[in-house]
Structure 1
C-alpha cells in the first residue's frame, strides 16, 4: 500500500525537476522580455523606431552559454545530473554555471514530490504543483530584479479563485474572493500610509498582487499568519544582510521572496502551523 503512493510522489518529483529546469529559463528570460517590451513602448511614445533585435522569448533563441555562446545540447540540459557531470562548468569555455540552477530544479522537484505525497494523485495535488512552480519563479525573479511580473501573479490569482470554485483545495469561493480583496487592499493601505508619512515607496504593486493571490489560494483567514511569517523572515534576513554588509545599493530587500516562502510554508504545513512556529 505504501509503494504506490511513494512511486507516484517520486514520479511527480521527476516532473518537478523538469519543470524546475524550465523555470530557470523563465526566471532569466521573462524580465528581459519585459524590458524589451518597455523599450518598444517608449520608442512608440517618442515616435521613434525601436532598434531591431534578435527574437527573444521563452523558447527562442536556443539555450546557450552566456559567455561563449555555446549551444547547450540536450544531454547537457538534464536537470541536476548534467550540472554534476559538467562539474558546474560550460563544456566549451569552462565558465562557471551557477549553483542556483540545480537548486531551483531540486526545490521544484521536492515541492512536487511533497504535494503528491500529501494529496495523492488528485486535482488538488496538480493545483498545488502549479502553485509551487509559480511561487518559485516569482521568488527568484523578485530577488534578482525586484519585479513580480503580472504574467505570473495575475494568472496565479485567477487560478486560486477558479480552484476554490471547483472545490479542489477546501477553500470556499467566498473565502478566496475576500482573501484576494483583503490581501491586495491590506498591503496597498500600508504602502499608501508609508508613502504619506515618509514620501517614499516601501514596496511595489507586485507585492499587493502576490498577497492577493495568496489570499485567493488560502482564504482570508490565512492572511495574518502568512504576512506575520513573511515579515519575521524578512526582518531576520534583512538584519543578517546588513550585518554582513551584503545589502544592495539603497539598502533594500525585496519582500516578494518572503511572501513566497510564507506561502509555501502555508501550503505544506497549514496557516495555523505558521502561528505556532512563531509562538502565537
Structure 2
C-alpha cells in the first residue's frame, strides 16, 4: 500500500481526504460531548460526588441520536456529507434542521487532511500533521461554542509537536522546546498586564497552552507571525460581526480559533506570507 501511494500520490490524497471526512464525523461527536463530559466532571468534583460520570455519558455512549427528538441515527444516516445531503439537512424523524456546522466540520477536516497529504506527500511526518489538524478543528469548534480549550486536546497537541521535532521533522528540538515556553509565557504576560491595567481577564489559560503547542510544532521563530495574524484576523472578524450581525460588543470573542487558523496558515504558507506581505518579511 505504501509503495502504491508513493507511485500514485493521487490515491494517497484521495484516501487521506476520505479519512478526513470520516474523522470529521467523529470530531462532531467530540465537539458536542467533550465539553458536557468535562462540565459534569467539574460539577461532580465540587459536589464531592463519587459517581463515575464518564460511564454514563462519554464519547461512545449513548449511541448517536438526534439532539432534538433523541431518535437513533442509523448507519446509513451517518455517512459524512452524503447523509446530510440525502436527508436534505433534516432529521428523518422530527424534521428539525441539522445544524450546518456538522457537514462544515466534516468538509473542513476532509479538505485540510487532503491538502496536507498533497503538500507533504507520503511519510510518517504527514500522519502527525493529520493529528494536529484534527485536534485544531475540534478546538476551534469547541472554543466557538463554549469558550473552552480542553487540556485533553491542547496538551497532547503540545507533546506531539515536541515528539515530532525530537526527530527534526518540522524544526529542531531546541526551537520547539523554547517555542513551547515562549508561546505560553508570551500570552501569560499579556494576560496579566491586561488584568493589572483593566481588572479584567482578556483571555483564558487554554489560549496560553494552545500557543505553546503551536510553538512546539513550529519553533519560537514562528510565534510573532502567528500572534500578529491571529490578532489581525480576530480584530477584522470581530468588527465585521458587530457591523453585519449586530453582535454585542460586550460579549467576549474566543481567541483560540484565530490562533489555530493562524497556526495552520503559518505552518503551510509561512514562506509565501513573508514574500507577499512586507510586514512579515522581517519576522
Q: Could you tell me the TM-score, scaled by structure 2's length?
A: 0.92
236-245 or 200-209, which moves further after superposition? 236-245
Specify which of 8, 15, 20 is matched with residue 12 of structure 2: 8
> Could you tell me whether the CA contact under 8 Å between 1:225 and 1:275 is conserved in 2?
no
Match for residue 34 of structure 2? 30
Match for residue 253 of structure 1? 253
Match for residue 121 of structure 2? 120
Match for residue 168 of structure 2? 167
What is the alpha-carbon distance in structure 1 between the residues aligned to residue 99 and residue 241 of structure 2?
21
Match for residue 40 of structure 1? 44
Q: 1:167 deviation in Å?
A: 2.2
What is the RMSD of the two structures over their aligned residues, measured on CA atoms?
A: 2.0
- Distance of aligned partners of 1:165 and 1:108 in 2 relative to their CA distance in 1, 3 Å threshold: same
What is the alpha-carbon distance in structure 1 between the residues aligned to residue 55 and residue 159 of structure 2?
33
Q: How big is each residue's C-alpha offset from its partner over 1:55-89, in whole Å with a ceiling of 9 and x where there is no partner?
A: 11011000100111110011000000000000000
Q: How big is each residue's C-alpha offset from its partner over 1:2-57, in whole Å with a ceiling of 9 and x where there is no partner?
A: 9811111111000000000000000010000011001100111xxx6779898110
Match for residue 183 of structure 1? 183
Q: How big is each residue's C-alpha offset from its partner over 1:206-265, in whole Å with a ceiling of 9 and x where there is no partner?
A: 000000000000000000011110000000011111113443583221100000110111
What is the alpha-carbon distance in structure 1 between the residues aligned to residue 54 and residue 177 of structure 2?
42
Is 1:273 the equivalent of 2:272?
yes
Match for residue 153 of structure 1? 154
What is the alpha-carbon distance in structure 1 between the residues aligned to residue 65 and residue 39 of structure 2?
20
2:28 counterpart SS class = helix
Is 1:222 the equivalent of 2:248?
no
Q: Could you tell me the TM-score, scaled by structure 1's length?
A: 0.93
The alignment of Structure 1 onto Structure 2 pairs a total of residues equal to 275
- Distance of aligned partners of 1:38 and 1:162 in 2 relative to their CA distance in 1, 3 Å threshold: same
> Could you tell me whether the CA contact under 8 Å between 2:194 and 2:201 is conserved in 1?
yes
What is the alpha-carbon distance in structure 1 between the residues aligned to residue 20 and residue 69 of structure 2?
29
> Could you tell me whether the CA contact under 8 Å between 2:242 and 2:248 is conserved in 1?
no
Match for residue 143 of structure 1? 144
1:244 counterpart SS class = helix
2-11 or 80-89, which moves further after superposition? 2-11
What is the alpha-carbon distance in structure 1 between the residues aligned to residue 249 and residue 29 of structure 2?
26
- Distance of aligned partners of 1:106 and 1:33 in 2 relative to their CA distance in 1, 3 Å threshold: same
What is the alpha-carbon distance in structure 2 between the residues aligned to residue 215 and residue 160 of structure 1?
8
What is the alpha-carbon distance in structure 1 between the residues aligned to residue 120 and residue 153 of structure 2?
24
Match for residue 95 of structure 1? 96
- Distance of aligned partners of 1:151 and 1:277 in 2 relative to their CA distance in 1, 3 Å threshold: farther
- Unaligned regions of 5+ residues in structure 2, if any? none
4+ long deviations beyond 6 Å:
48-54
Q: 1:168 deviation in Å?
A: 2.4
